[in-house]
Amino acid sequence: MSSTSRPNAEISDIGQIAINVRDLDRAVEFYRDRLALPFLFRAPPGMAFFQCGHVRLLLGVAENTEQDRPASIIYYRVEDIAASHAALTSLGVEFVADPHLVHKTESQELWLAFFKDTEGNTLALMSERAA
């Protein structure tokens, strides 16, 4: 199928990301109280929703063992990665990789820092800044 006749779903943004959790109460506390994401609501049988910019985050208890696995890495954009790292560390977030430069061009630097949530999912802070 050529690009001119290919159907266009017009996907333009991420609407929601789901993260599997095993202990919903513990996960809600982490995302609400440590990461300070705005809590939206809980829904049965085991889901909690947060807002992160234009993206909604769904924390959910897997319905079966096939679905019970760690999530993809979500990269949270921050302006000042050192300040965000320090703030989250002070709230008990344990980083597995402190802020570090991963890519640099003449005009821009990309910094990342990785941490785990209470369910063992890997998450990251990312900061893009002028070089």
pLDDT tens, residue by residue, 31-80: 999 999 999 999 988 999 999 999 999 999 987 777 777 777 898 999 89
Identity at 77, one-letter amino acid code? R
Structure token pair of residue 82:
């050192």
Maximal C-alpha separation, the chain: 54
In sign, the C-alpha dihedral spanning 93, 81, 114, 38 is positive
pLDDT(85) > 70 = yes
pTM over 0.75: no
Mean pLDDT of the chain: 88
User: What pLDDT does 5 receive?
Assistant: 67
User: What pLDDT does 24 receive?
Assistant: 96
Identify the H or E element spanning 24. Answer: helix 24-29
- CA–CA dist 92, 19 (Å, integer): 20
> At a CB cut-off of 8 Å and minimum separation 6, what does 16 contact?
55, 56, 57, 58
Structure token pair of residue 30:
């982490």
Superfamily of segment(s) 16-130: 2,3-Dihydroxybiphenyl 1,2-Dioxygenase, domain 1 (3.10.180.10)
- CA–CA dist 111, 3 (Å, integer): 35
User: How far, in Å, are 54, 74, 107, 124 from residue 112 at the CA level?
Assistant: 21, 12, 17, 7
In sign, the C-alpha dihedral spanning 22, 77, 42, 93 is positive
Q: Closest Cα partner for 38 from 48, 24, 23?
A: 48
